[in-house]
Amino acid sequence: MSKVVSPWTDTEIIDRLIQREGGFADHRDDKGGPTRFGITKRTLSEWRGYDVSRAQVQTLHIDEAREIYARQYLEPFAAVTDGPLKELLVDTAVHSGPGKAKRLLQEALGVEVDGVIGLDTIGELAHADFVRVYRDVLRARLRFIGKILTRDVTQATFAAGWLNRIAEFII
C-alpha cells in the first residue's frame, strides 16, 4: 500500500512557490530588483550577511533558495495547521513580505494586528474557521494589490501576473 502525501507539505509548498516564481528576472520596474526563484537581491544579501551582486543572485542555487524559503517564509507560519491557508500565507509573504502576511492573518482572525504570531494569534488559530480565514486573507491580499496598482502606475506592468498568481488560490 502506498502512502498518500498531502499536497500541502512544506516541501510541496516550496516546490509550487518556486514553480510560480520561475528562474532569474531583473525587470527595470520591479522594486525587488534582480530575483531568482523569487529570492530578491535584498533577501539574499540579508540571508548571507553581505551585499550580494546581481551575478550572485543570478547564480543562486535552488537548494539555497529552498533553505531561505523554509527558514524565512515557512517557519513564521508553523502554527498554521491548515495546508491551504499556510500556502496562501507563505505565498503572500514572498510577494509582499512576511510582516504583511502576518498582519493579514491577524486581521482575518480578529486579533491585535502587530505582525507577531504570538499567543493570541496562535490561540485564535486553534479554533479558527479556516475556510473563512482563508477567504478573508485572500480578499485582503487582493485589496492590497489593488492599492499598490492604484498608488504606483509603474507597477501596472505586473498586474496581470499578480492577478493570475492570486487566482491560483481561489478555491
Report DSSP state, residue 29. Answer: T
3-state secondary structure of 60: coil
* SS3 letters across 92-137: HHHHHCHHHHHHHHHHHHCCCCCCCCCHHHHHHHHCCCHHHHHHHH
Query: For residue 131, what pLDDT is reported?
Result: 96
* In the chain, domain spans: 10-167
The C-alpha atoms of residue 142 and residue 137 are separated, in whole angstroms, by 9
Q: Of 148, 151, 120, nearest to 161 (Cα)? A: 148
Any idea which architecture 10-167 has in CATH? Up-down Bundle (1.20)
Say which residue the cell 505582525 belongs to: 115
Sequence-distant (6+) residues with CB within 8 A of 83 are: 6, 7, 8, 9, 13
CA 13 to the chain's CA centroid: 10
Q: Of 148, 147, 140, nearest to 166 (Cα)? A: 140
Residues of the chain under the 70 pLDDT cut: 1-7
Query: For residue 6, what pLDDT is reported?
Result: 53
Query: For residue 154, what pLDDT is reported?
Result: 87
The C-alpha atoms of residue 126 and residue 137 are separated, in whole angstroms, by 17
Contact in structure between 41 and 34 (CB atoms under 8 Å): yes
pLDDT digits 0-9 by tens, 103-148 = 999 999 999 999 999 999 999 999 999 999 999 999 999 999 999 9
- Helices 130-151 + 159-167 axis angle, to 10: 180
Query: For residue 146, what pLDDT is reported?
Result: 93
